[in-house]
Amino acid sequence: MDLARMRNPTLALGLAALLLAAPVSLSVSVAEDAPAAPAAPTIPVSVAKVARRDVPVLIRGLGTVQAYYSVLLRTQVDGKLMQVPVTEGQAVKKGDLLAVIDTRPYQAALDAALAKKQQDEALLISAQSDLVRYTDLARRDVASRQKVEATQALVGQLTAVIAGDNALIDTAKVNLGFCAIAAPFDGRVGLRNVDPGTFVRAAEATPIMPVAQLQPISATFTVPQDNLPAILRALAAGKPPVVALGSDNATELDKGELLTIDNTIDATTGTIKIKAVFPNAGFRLWPGQFINTRLLVGTMGNALTVPSAAVQHGQDRLFVYIVKDDQTVQARTVEVASDDGIVAVVSKGLDEGLTVVTDGHSRLRNGMKIAISAGSGKAGG
């Protein structure tokens, strides 16, 4: 624009002044719109109180359920399998008939042994009569002494033969008894491997069927060898309780008691095997099932506790984040006497009533501001 050509000098002067002032006003406006420095972030966390309480001393392990008694039924004599008077999966009592082998050959063998004994007994009676007669004649010098001795030897021989006959009869009775296979204990029949009509042999490896006792039922599990002294002390005081848990390590399946410990520590793993027994009233435990176990070996009274999740592992120490009054956190080194994965017993580094962080550690540093999640803050986890 040509200011000299403008007809109104006053207007031209004002416009020029306005143009000169515009850059200053623009720079001020930009300065006023600059963003403020970002505030420090607030980290959401869950917390819990440090509290004193009685803590059960639990030894945790992974175990396998096994039948209290388990047998594979096999025949002890050769013969045709005539009957299997039970169904697969049936509950049976001790002495119930489970299978029948053809009895006819073994009954015939028993009858033959009995007949042979009767024959030999008749010969013995005759020889005994001859011995009495020849003994009387020998006193009167009518019969020779040699004849008496020969008859006496025959009596002894026939007596021995009858003893052998009795043994054969007993063997025949035993074999005949083997033809009826009975349940050796209360239990449950498994799946049948041999059908009626099959000729079975005592030397065969395939069993007719399995039978297992499920009430009660047992489980074996391994624990580190360092726990052996505590377990022995608990056994000396009685039968320590054992809880069987499901695969989620939370669902309680049954409660039982420790039965015994193995007599050898596994040198390759440094563990020892222990065995527990459970009543299994609801059949929630089954042979071959994997379970988690908790063995109670004692109680720590009035112990200072925090949830296990509060304890963090540093490079050379254990520590927790405590919450200060200004809602900031500070790392504090602690010593842990025991930790069962749920509750940690702290022997040094904390005082009762302090608040510690149980979740959200990954973003925390000393002095950071936190926001406590709703529902957290329960004592001792």
Q: What is the pLDDT of residues 156-169, one digit of tens each?
A: 999 999 999 999 99
pLDDT at 52 over 70: yes
Give the model's pLDDT for residue 39: 58
CATH 2.40.50.100 fits 46-55+302-379, yes or no: no
Amino acid at 107: Q
- Which of the four pLDDT bands, split at 50, 70 and 90, describes residue 1? very low
Give the model's pLDDT for residue 19: 46
Q: What is the mean pLDDT of residues 355-364?
A: 89
Amino acid at 270: G
Cα-Cα end-to-end distance for the chain: 80
pLDDT at 268 over 70: yes
Give the model's pLDDT for residue 30: 44
Question: Where in the chain are the domains?
Answer: 46-55+302-379, 59-68+213-301, 73-189
By residue count, the chain amounts to 381
Percent helix, strand, coil in the chain, to 5, is 30, 40, 30
pLDDT at 29 over 50: no
The tokens of 11 are what? 């207007």
Give the model's pLDDT for residue 34: 53
Contacts of 254 (CB under 8 A, 6+ apart): 243, 244, 278, 279, 280, 281, 282, 284, 285
Report the percent of the chain where pLDDT is more than 70: 87
Q: How many CA atoms lie within 13 A of 192 on its CB side?
A: 15
The residues with which 278 forms a beta bridge, in sequence order, are 217
Cα 208 from Cα 74, distance rounded (Å): 6
pLDDT at 43 over 90: no
Fold of the CATH domain 59-68+213-301: Elongation Factor Tu (Ef-tu); domain 3 (2.40.30)
Q: CA torsion angle for 233, 234, 239, 243 (degrees, to 10)? A: -150
